[in-house]
Structure 1
Amino acid sequence: MTGDERRFGLGAGIALTLASTVLWGVAHLAAERRKTGLALMAAYVLMLAAVLTVFTAFSANLLSLAVQPSWLTVLTVALVVIALAWTGVIIWSFLLVRPPRSDTVGRFLSTTLAVALCALILAPTAYATRLAYLSRDVVHTLFAGNGGTAPIMAQDPWSGADRVNFLLLGGDSAPGRPGVRTDSMTVASVDVETGATVLFGLPRNLQQVQLPAGPARDAFPWGFTGSGPDTPGLLNEVFQFAEDHPELVPGVHKGKRGSTLLKQTISDILGIPVDYYAMVDMKGFAEIIDAMGGVRITIKAPIVYGKHREGLLPAGTRKLSGEDALWYGRSRTDSDDYVRMGRQKCLLNAVAKQADPMTVLNSFERLAAATKRAISTDLPQDLLPAVVDLSQKVKDAKMRSLSFVPPLISTSDPDWYVIRRKVREALDEDSASTKTAAAHAPSATESTDTPVSLDSTCG
């Protein structure tokens, strides 16, 4: 029996169409198509059960799924299939319970409602599909690998290591200065079990740096000295110097020479292996901040910037645009490299904390485009799920910082033995404090203070 035969009125047709959108099969039962209605209800319940299972059983791994292109494809296809099936049920239900042909106004209103309900289902699906496509594009652009097809819970991704060390670089270029200078260099040493992190900051103007054994050290046996006025021999020049002189890193392709040599160099300086690197171009970083809608920073004292002191960032708490944030991290006017290093850490920390899920979703397309332009890394795709899991641990763990700047270290005549000793002491202290904290962990009824980074203040 059809809807026309049963002569559903406007009110009944609208109510049944809405009800069938919320629970499949209601309209079919009203139209006395009991078998079909019950089958649709059963399918709907099974679908909801499957979705709830995914969001409960795999809730801890949802972020990991978001960085695996193969899983993104599976989830996107599943979402599209569900949306199309849902839309089909809405249309089918509408056709069964729409008002008779003689009720022109009723037909128009009920048709408008059905179209609106279909749009309500399809629009979020289209948006989610777009986000999935952009995510896949970002992953494929930034990270090398086989497409992230490794299982979510694979064997130990860190190969038995207690800590993993990431070299975080801030790259900058300027008119009249060739290439990119890594003016910000920090190694984050992360405990893979707890997420406890020690940050080792290296100044850009470190001199007499010993390059790793091989062709690089053969070219500079007494330490890196550069090759003229444009490269006086500072640590921040090693990256670009290697790109311009392939003979220093034979067998390494263009675009990877700089990171390869700098990782090896900093590994020797600190006495620990540097596993991976990530570099953020400062101009691209400004685009990321603009895409986020700005970043809120507390400035303790006014910051003057520009060669001719043409700019000023007043003291106080305010939201900085990308350009202002760039000057905040760049300026050395009335200060020095070491003050700037501290501000750069504050800026990165503020961006990480303020990039909440809603902010990311609201400006995902702009963020994705800016990220592809701003970031380069050698992290493989297969490792991304493990890195995401580790980042969640880092957020809840303590973070310590040690910067090798005067008076601890003379940048013109560094004591490499002291640097390596301080690194060992910092890591030993971090491991000891982590074990102590685990032994005295509070019970479920006790409270604990939120861990605070030693570099939590900004100037």
Structure 2
Amino acid sequence: MSDRQRTVGPGPDASTFFSDVDQADGSVTPPPRRRRRGRRIALIVLLVVVLLGGATAGAAALYLRSVESGIERVDVFEGVPEEARPPVTATGAMNIMILGSDSRDPESTGGSRSDTIIVAHLPKDRKSAQLISIPRDTWVHVPRSKDGQHGDRDAKINAAYAWGGVPLMVQTVEEFTRVRIDHVAIVDFAGFKEIIDALGGVNISSDREFKSIHPPFRTFTKGVQHMDGEAALDYSRQRKQFPDGDFARIRHQQQVIKAILDKAASGGILTNPGKLNDFVKASTRSVSVDKGMSLLDMATDLRSLRGSSLVFFTSPTKGTGRVGSESVVFPDPAKARSFYDAVRRDAVQEITQ
């Protein structure tokens, strides 16, 4: 396991970024297509602002204005009662909730969805980022949905997303962590294909040779290999060939995220107008962000962030088990309380230990 990938608490060394929603679990029908784009989420915003933050002020402002005008804005805090929210962060740190969906995953059938829940903690000095994955099967209390039809009971954390969209997910994550969510980034993980191709591909190091279970059944060799968008996305989806299943898949997805960030920051995109234009277009086609997020401010804040500055964590858990017919992940309340208290206090050294 990389020294940049950490697990807090017992159990496997990484949490499940993506895990299929089982219709037998009682999940609801996906929202109408007209709302689907507003429900797709991930890390593209951080990639865009890091890349553009390294440009000259004029170039950054020009392209950020282009990105800002093309990105869909979502009212992610609509209906979230202010009195129930954690207090505004007093340290100057920022917490961004990143929600990701792989809508074109070959294993997603029958209306099921595959989702990512990450809290990205950006310390006051903005010199690093701690990415905390919350397994979608984590068993938590989900507040009542705005329409009153769902929630107000214990369930898998991802049920909040199905029952009340991004606002209910914000409310659920804040109640679980007691960490204030300042912004939300939304994109389809499958959109990473276009992002990676716009970057000219990425280099990924596999710790073993294995064959994909999805057409065209490509073989991934051990060691470093250059992957285009299609291959990298395929690599990030593999799990059934590994003893730890979804936990292997999360490690692959972490590798892809880090590789994209490194390539965006160092790939010479800013000096190639054509590639930069492709990158911006690929980003804006998929991404949605909250109405209050300023990409120009983010670019200024994160201009020094690189892949080596990212540290991956798993929300503290006691492992997996069953509640009735459902397979769930049980949080570790004591360790989670201590861990998220460090996040709230922006105690980076405590978070990274």
Same fold (TM over 0.5): yes
Q: Output one character per residue of 1:208-238: Cα deviation in whole Å (capped at 9) or x when no partner.
A: 33223564787333313xxxxxxxxx43453
Q: Distance in 2 between matches of 1:397 and 1:311?
A: 29
Contact 1:64 1:389 in 2 (8 A): no
Q: Which residue of 2 aligns with 1:390?
A: 301
Task: List alignment gaps of at least 5 residues for structure 2.
Answer: 1-52, 75-87, 322-327
Q: Which residue of 2 aligns with 1:414?
A: 331
Q: Is 1:181 matched up with 2:114? A: yes
Residue from 256, 261, 269 that aligns with 1:359: 269
Q: Output one character per residue of 1:85-104: Cα deviation in whole Å (capped at 9) or x when no partner.
A: xxxxxxxxxxxxxxxxxxxx
Contact 2:100 2:188 in 1 (8 A): yes
Q: Distance in 2 between matches of 1:415 and 1:407?
A: 5
SS at match of 1:287: helix
Q: Distance in 2 between matches of 1:310 and 1:212?
A: 42
User: How far apart are residue 164 of structure 1 and its match?
Assistant: 0.6
User: How far apart are residue 295 of structure 1 and its match?
Assistant: 0.5
Residue from 140, 150, 157 that aligns with 1:235: 157
Q: Distance in 2 between matches of 1:189 and 1:285?
A: 22
Q: Distance in 2 between matches of 1:420 and 1:433?
A: 13
1:102-141 alignment runs, 5 A limit: 136-141=65-70
Q: Distance in 2 between matches of 1:329 and 1:346?
A: 8
1:308-387 alignment runs, 5 A limit: 310-335=217-242, 336-355=245-264, 356=266, 358-362=268-272, 363-378=275-290, 380=292, 383-387=294-298
Q: Distance in 1 between matches of 2:70 and 2:278?
A: 15
Residue from 314, 320, 328 that aligns with 1:403: 314
> What is the one-letter code of the residue matched to 2:224?
T
User: How far apart are residue 376 of structure 1 and its match?
Assistant: 1.7
SS at match of 2:143: coil
Deviates more, 1:279-288 or 1:159-168: 159-168
User: How far apart are residue 401 of structure 1 and its match?
Assistant: 3.2
User: How far apart are residue 347 of structure 1 and its match?
Assistant: 1.0
Contact 1:196 1:430 in 2 (8 A): no
Contact 1:303 1:328 in 2 (8 A): no
Structure 1 415/433 Cα, relative in aligned 2: closer, same or farther at 3 Å?
closer
Structure 1 320/413 Cα, relative in aligned 2: closer, same or farther at 3 Å?
same
Structure 1 140/161 Cα, relative in aligned 2: closer, same or farther at 3 Å?
farther
Structure 1 215/279 Cα, relative in aligned 2: closer, same or farther at 3 Å?
closer
Q: Distance in 1 between matches of 2:66 and 2:176?
A: 36
> What is the one-letter code of the residue matched to 2:260?
V
Q: Distance in 2 between matches of 1:309 and 1:62?
A: 39
Q: Which residue of 2 aligns with 1:209?
A: 140
Q: Distance in 2 between matches of 1:276 and 1:429?
A: 17
Pairwise CA RMSD of aligned residues?
3.5
Q: Distance in 2 between matches of 1:291 and 1:396?
A: 18
Q: Which residue of 2 aligns with 1:3?
A: none
Q: Which has the higher strand share?
A: 2
1:41-56 alignment runs, 5 A limit: none
Structure 1 327/61 Cα, relative in aligned 2: closer, same or farther at 3 Å?
closer
Residue from 139, 142, 151 that aligns with 1:220: 151
> What is the one-letter code of the residue matched to 1:163?
A
Q: Which residue of 2 aligns with 1:193?
A: 125
User: How far apart are residue 64 of structure 1 and its match?
Assistant: 5.5
1:143-158 alignment runs, 5 A limit: 144=73
SS at match of 2:329: coil
User: How far apart are residue 138 of structure 1 and its match?
Assistant: 2.3
> What is the one-letter code of the residue matched to 1:197?
A
Q: Is 1:424 matched up with 2:346? A: no
Deviates more, 1:286-295 or 1:368-377: 368-377
Which has the higher relative contact order, 1 or 2, with Cα contacts under 8 A spaced 6 or more apart?
A: 2
User: How far apart are residue 300 of structure 1 and its match?
Assistant: 1.1
Q: Which residue of 2 aligns with 1:128?
A: none
Q: Distance in 1 between matches of 2:145 and 2:90?
A: 29
Q: Distance in 2 between matches of 1:138 and 1:301?
A: 38
Contact 2:121 2:343 in 1 (8 A): no
Structure 1 407/159 Cα, relative in aligned 2: closer, same or farther at 3 Å?
closer
Q: TM-score, normalised by structure 2?
A: 0.65
Which structure: larger Rg?
1
Contact 2:101 2:187 in 1 (8 A): yes
Q: Distance in 1 between matches of 2:170 and 2:329?
A: 21
Q: TM-score, normalised by structure 1?
A: 0.52
Q: Which residue of 2 aligns with 1:127?
A: none
Contact 2:135 2:329 in 1 (8 A): no
Q: Distance in 1 between matches of 2:215 and 2:55?
A: 50
Contact 1:269 1:419 in 2 (8 A): no
Q: Distance in 1 between matches of 2:320 and 2:336?
A: 8
How many residue pairs are counted as aligned between the two chains?
274
User: How far apart are residue 425 of structure 1 and its match?
Assistant: 4.0
Q: Distance in 1 between matches of 2:279 and 2:55?
A: 20
User: How far apart are residue 304 of structure 1 and its match?
Assistant: 3.2
